[in-house]
Amino acid sequence: MSQLEDPAPANSALHSAGPRRAASAPFLRAVRAMLARGKRARQDAACEPGAAENGAGRLEQGFCAQDTVTSVSGVPLMRRTERAGARMPRTISAQGAALIKRFEGCARLRRDGLVEAYPDPGTGDDPWTIGWGATGAGLKRGERIGPGTVWTQKQCDERLARDLKRYASEVAHALGTAPTTQAQFDALVSFHYNTGAIARATLTRRHIAGDHEGAAAEFRRWNKAGGRVLKGLVRRRAAEERLYRGEGT
């Protein structure tokens, strides 16, 4: 105990310092206020347009630094997907749907007004297609589209509406929060509707990385069916690329 200091002097010092601390209180409050103003100024500066860099070193306009997080790949992702003027498209537009209908067509319309299925032009067999490019599951549970499948025009139109909603949802999921215009989204839905490849395509990865020029160039690579280049696919990919670039179809 002899080596320990008596707490009494310390307490006495604290009590005796009371008037000095009270006198310095206004000064301390002023210092704290100055520091707080400086912190707010730094935060406001970080929120100026162009403050957040993307993975390629370019500035993304209108994003606040604290609104972005960096993914494993190093590409900044928006923490809040909706800021003023930055709403992400989730449904295909009338222009995008028209592009799909133009290239899919509603082929094999019979004289009786019904529409019949036809084989894939690249393979001469599967996958069989009907209406506006519908493949796979038929209208009835367990049914598959194939030789002999026949639908009405109304059934073809209803199937297209359901499929466009599903494919648009899959594209939106694949893109996540990557900045995307409506035209780009429409082009990617058309691409996915035809290929089913939005989740694995290099095109998608380039778009998410912000390399829109590189993504646009990827469309033209998807021009084969059954190992052969098809003129119809060449024309479709060119139209999708133009739409993606914002040049119309």
pLDDT at position 165, please? 97
Same domain, 67 and 149: no
Same domain, 67 and 103: no
Residue ending a domain, among 88, 108, 126, is: 88
Domain count, the chain: 2
Residue 40 within a domain? no
Domain span at 72: 59-88
Same domain, 77 and 199: no
pLDDT in tens, 49-90: 333 333 333 323 333 333 333 333 444 433 333 343 457 899
CA distance 26 to 166: 64
CA distance 180 to 186: 10
**Using CB atoms within 10 A of its CB, is residue 188 exposed (0-12), middle (13-18) or buried (19+)?**
buried
Average pLDDT, 10 consecutive residues per value, the chain (249 residues): 38 43 58 59 42 32 34 38 59 97 91 93 88 92 94 96 97 97 98 96 98 98 92 97 92
Same domain, 158 and 238: yes
pLDDT at position 225, please? 86
At a CB cut-off of 8 Å and minimum separation 6, what does 70 contact? 76, 77
CA distance 231 to 201: 21
CA distance 12 to 32: 28
Catalytic annotation, residues: 104
Residue 18 within a domain? no
CATH number at residue 240: 1.10.530.40
The model scores a pTM over 0.85? no
Same domain, 67 and 112: no
pLDDT at position 124, please? 85
Same domain, 109 and 144: yes
Same domain, 197 and 102: yes
Same domain, 76 and 113: no
Asked if 244 and 216 touch (Cβ cutoff 8 Å), the reply is yes
Same domain, 67 and 190: no
Residue 20 within a domain? no
Same domain, 77 and 129: no
pLDDT at position 169, please? 98
